[in-house]
Chains A and B, each alone.
Chain A
Amino acid sequence: MPTLDDLRATFTDLEARAPAAIADSGHYPQHAGKRRIAVPLAATAVVLALVGGVVLSLGRRGTDGGTGSPVSTANPPATLSLTTYGFSLANHPAGTRLRYVGSQGRTQAAYLESPSGALLAIVSIFSSGAQPTAPPNAQRARVDGHVAWYGVYTSGDNTGYWSMDPGGPALMWQDRHSGVWVLIVSSPTNPLDETPASSSTGLVLRADLFAMANGVRIGETHPVRVPATLGYVPLDLRLGLVQISGQSSRGGDVDFGFSRSGSSHIATTISVLTSGTKVNAAQPDPAAEPITIGRYTGIYDPTQSAIIVHRGTTWISIRSEGLAKSELIKIVQGIVVAKKPTDMGTWFDAADAVK
Chain B
Amino acid sequence: MVVMNTDFAQFVGARQVPLLRFAMVLTGDARLAEDIVADVLGRAFEQWVRIGAMEYPNAYVRRMIVNEYLSWRRRLWRSVPHAVASDQLDEASDHAHLHAERSAMMLQLAKLPRKQRTAVVMRYYEGWTDQQIAALLNCSAGAVRSNVSRGLAALRIELTGPTALRLSLTKET
Residues of A within 8 A of B (CB): 1-4, 6-11, 13-15, 17-40, 42-43, 46-47, 104, 154-159, 161-163, 165-166, 188-189, 191-196, 245, 255, 269, 279-280, 282-283, 285-287, 303-304, 317, 319
A157 near B81 with CB under 8 A, answer yes
B73 near A319 with CB under 8 A, answer yes
CA distance A192 to B2 in the complex (A): 38
Residues of B with C-beta under 8 A to A22: 16, 20, 34, 37-38, 41
A43 near B80 with CB under 8 A, answer yes
A25 and chain B: residue at smallest CB distance: B13
Does B159 belong to the interface (CB within 8 Å)?
yes
A284 and chain B: residue at smallest CB distance: B67
B39 near A21 with CB under 8 A, answer no
CA distance A154 to B156 in the complex (A): 24
B113 near A283 with CB under 8 A, answer no
- Smallest CB–CB gap between A156 and chain B, Å? 4
Given contacts A2-B101, A188-B111, contact A43 B17 (CB under 8 A): no
Interface size class of B (residues with CB under 8 A): 35 or more
CA distance A1 to B101 in the complex (A): 10
CA distance A280 to B14 in the complex (A): 31
A35 near B157 with CB under 8 A, answer no
A2 near B74 with CB under 8 A, answer no
Does B47 belong to the interface (CB within 8 Å)?
yes
Does B169 belong to the interface (CB within 8 Å)?
no
CA distance A29 to B24 in the complex (A): 22
B121 near A11 with CB under 8 A, answer yes
What is the count of residue pairs linking A and B with beta-carbon distances less than 8 angstroms? Answer: 212
Given contacts A19-B24, A26-B3, contact A10 B16 (CB under 8 A): no
13 CB contacts below 8 A, A to B, read A8-B125, A27-B1, A28-B2, A28-B8, A28-B9, A30-B2, A32-B45, A163-B78, A165-B84, A166-B84, A191-B78, A255-B76, A303-B46
A163-B80, A283-B138, A303-B43 given; name 16 further pairs at CB < 8 Å: A4-B163, A8-B124, A8-B125, A11-B25, A27-B3, A33-B42, A36-B39, A37-B73, A39-B74, A155-B83, A163-B78, A195-B113, A283-B67, A283-B136, A303-B46, A317-B72
A164 and chain B: residue at smallest CB distance: B81
Closest 7 CB pairs of A and B: A32-B42, A282-B138, A18-B24, A158-B81, A43-B79, A15-B21, A156-B83
B85 near A17 with CB under 8 A, answer yes
Does B141 belong to the interface (CB within 8 Å)?
no
B33 near A156 with CB under 8 A, answer no
Given contacts A18-B30, A38-B39, A319-B73, contact A46 B79 (CB under 8 A): yes
CA distance A287 to B46 in the complex (A): 12
Does B50 belong to the interface (CB within 8 Å)?
yes
- Smallest CB–CB gap between B151 and chain A, Å? 10
Does B172 belong to the interface (CB within 8 Å)?
no
- Smallest CB–CB gap between B109 and chain A, Å? 7
B102 near A6 with CB under 8 A, answer yes
B78 near A14 with CB under 8 A, answer no
Does B4 belong to the interface (CB within 8 Å)?
yes
CA distance A166 to B73 in the complex (A): 22
User: Which of A11, A17, A19, A283 has a CB less than 8 Å from the CB of B63?
Assistant: A283
Residue from A25, A39, A47, A287 having most chain B Cβ neighbours under 10 A: A39
A161 near B75 with CB under 8 A, answer no
CA distance A149 to B99 in the complex (A): 35
B81 near A46 with CB under 8 A, answer yes
- Smallest CB–CB gap between B148 and chain A, Å? 11
CA distance A34 to B42 in the complex (A): 8
CA distance A192 to B159 in the complex (A): 31
Q: Mark B96-131, 1 if CB is under 8 A from A, else 0.
A: 000001100110011101100000110011000000
CA distance A303 to B45 in the complex (A): 10
A280 near B1 with CB under 8 A, answer no
A23 near B78 with CB under 8 A, answer no
Does B92 belong to the interface (CB within 8 Å)?
yes
Given contacts A1-B156, A28-B45, A192-B75, contact A35 B113 (CB under 8 A): no
Given contacts A39-B35, A165-B111, contact A6 B42 (CB under 8 A): no
CA distance A234 to B143 in the complex (A): 42
CA distance A154 to B24 in the complex (A): 20
Residues of B with C-beta under 8 A to A27: 1-4
